[in-house]
Amino acid sequence: MEIRIPEQRVPVEAEADLLVCGGGCAGIAAAVSAARRGLKVVLVERWPSVGGMATNALVTGWHRSDREKMVIMGLVEESAVRAQKKGWIEQDPKYPYAHETHWFDPEGMRIVWQRMLDEAGVRTFCYTTAGDPFVEEGVLLGVVSDTKRGRRAFLADYLIDATGDGDVAAKSGVPFAYGRDSDGLVQGMTLMFALRDIDTNRVQAAGDRAVESVMADMRRLRDHGEFPQFNEGNTETLLRLSKNHLLWNMCPAAGNPLDEEELSRLTAESREKIVAYLDYWRRNMPGYQNALLEITGFAMGVRESRRIRGRATLTSDMVLGAAKQSDAVGHGVWMIDIHDPRGSGYTTYTDRGESNMLETGSSYHIPLGMCLNDRFGNLAVVGRCASSTHEAHSSVRVQTHCMVMGQGVGTAVALAAERGSSSGGPAAAISSVDIRKLQNALRGDGVYLEDVPRPPQSSPVRR
């Protein structure tokens, strides 16, 4: 069944040099970096505040080190410094000798990032979903969004899709991949939560034996279908810590994050699972008798959906082989970390070995080409929807790596706009930027970018 919508005249809400669709960490980095280089930037975000998964889904861990030194810097470092001044971030005890380097307060980080956007002069429209792309004679001109005042158009010379799901690119007709090759399923999701009123002294007095007993019973009940699935490795670690206000990453869900009805059901089911965990612990875990649920994520933590087919594709061999790219915009360090697409809670994070980790002291390059496409020269994607295989995606999807993409692409757009305006012609394609000039600009802005091979003569980004 279909309905016909008559042709409409849509008022223009805002015009800009760059429209960033999505205000998660990747979109923030793109918008700030472009605005600081003089572009007029508009950012639209569907949720009430910026930060995406980091602030609204309570995913608060950062991965910045190759286990010897810090290699992810730039706007990630600036965000950390700003948050540290307010006590909104802390270093992991193993810093810098572990990939996990920082844990931040989501409430504080949303303030840090909004201040950065405001200071850069970015016009920010929260409560606004990037709607249908507006394409005229094969040229992408903007998006049309439904607002409380009716349909409104946002127009720009350049667009960056930072929606996480690649919504704008996919609706514009850019090809994409979805799921793993074997069965088309995407990585499992997680709903984060925190507890309060745990008697930590009683937990410590009960010791490891109590945790081991509870874990064994949870496994037994789960295997008999009498208890929800859970992430075993994280659950045991978090029960041993048993800190109040700590965010728990242990509640798995599996399904299609592009199906709103299914995602609604999975989110509701996940909240039921969390209640079941807590009911069991209050009866069986020493120190949890009076524990209460403090908060759950505003949204499900989605790890994977669409992966746009770009001008370059990151692969697992590139990740594990610490491959260096001529069009690098920064480094990645994270492992192949796949959460079971069938929702068991298993993740390759717990394997931690040669098969899924880079060698200590090594990192791979994140290429500009994985953010570009062959359909629209003025459109790029940043974040988890960039071009990668299912396996490589599980590494490059983490927040710090998405921010590397955002800063790299935002800077590239600014340089492309500068090139177009100097020639007096139409907007230059993002792929036309001088890659060495881009890399030097990124280094000047604090990005760690080393061991870059010389680009091939034919093109700075195509391989």
Q: List, for residues 420-433, the tens digit of each pLDDT value.
A: 666 556 789 999 99
Q: List, for residues 194-230, the tens digit of each pLDDT value.
A: 999 999 999 999 999 999 999 999 999 999 999 999 9
What's the pLDDT band for 50 if we cut at 50, 70, 90? very high
Q: 22: Cβ–Cβ under 8 A, 6 or more apart, which residues?
A: 43, 44, 45, 46, 52, 130, 161, 162, 163, 164, 383
324 half-sphere exposure, CB direction, 13 A CA radius: 9
Tokens encoding 124: 């920010």
Full 3-state SS string of the chain: CCCCCCCCCCCEEEEEEEEEECCEHHHHHHHHHHHHCCCCEEEECCCCCCECHHHHCCCCEEECECCCCECCCCHHHHHHHHHHHCCCEEECCCCCCCCEEEEECHHHHHHHHHHHHHHHCCEEECCCCCCEEEEECCEEEEEEEEECCEEEEEEEEEEEECCCCCHHHHHCCCCEEECCCCCCCCCCEECCEEEECCCHHHHHHHHHHHHHHHHHHHHHHHHCCCCCCCCHHHHHHHHHHCCCCCEECCCEECCCCCCHHHHHHHHHHHHHHHHHHHHHHHHHCCCCCCCEEEEECCCCECCCCEEECCCCCECHHHHHCCCCCCCEEEEECCCCCCECCCCCCCEHHHCCCCCCCCCCCCCEEEEHHHHCCCCCCCEEECCCCCCECHHHHHHHCCHHHHHHHHHHHHHHHHHHHHHHHHHCCCCCCHHHCCHHHHHHHHHHCCCCCCCCCCCCCCCCCCC
What's the pLDDT band for 127 if we cut at 50, 70, 90? very high
* Residue of 273, 290, 266, 296 lying closest to 222 (CA atoms): 273
Mean pLDDT value across residues 44-49: 97
CA distances from 54 to 15, 192, 412 (A): 28, 11, 25
Is residue 152 within 8 Å of residue 229, measured between CB atoms?
no
- Residue 291, pLDDT score: 98
Q: For a pLDDT cut of 70, what percent of the chain falls above it? A: 97
What's the pLDDT band for 6 if we cut at 50, 70, 90? confident
Mean pLDDT value across residues 330-339: 98
Alpha-carbon span 401 to 364, nearest angstrom = 11
Q: Which residues pair with 193 in a beta bridge?
A: 248, 296
- Residue 462, pLDDT score: 45
What's the pLDDT band for 455 if we cut at 50, 70, 90? confident
Whether the pLDDT of residue 272 is over 70: the answer is yes
Q: List, for residues 390-406, the tens digit of each pLDDT value.
A: 999 999 999 999 999 99
Whether the pLDDT of residue 297 is over 80: the answer is yes
Domain boundaries, the chain: 12-181+305-444, 189-296
Q: Which amino acid is at 454?
A: R
Whether the pLDDT of residue 463 is over 50: the answer is no
The average confidence (pLDDT) of the chain is 96
- Residue 419, pLDDT score: 80
Tokens encoding 65: 């080190």
Q: Which CATH number fits domain 12-181+305-444: 3.40.1160.10, 3.10.310.10, 3.50.50.60, 1.20.1290.10?
A: 3.50.50.60
* Residue of 15, 44, 313 lying closest to 162 (CA atoms): 44
Q: 5: Cβ–Cβ under 8 A, 6 or more apart, which residues?
A: none
CA angle (402, 374, 29) in 5-degree steps: 20
Alpha-carbon span 347 to 234, nearest angstrom = 10
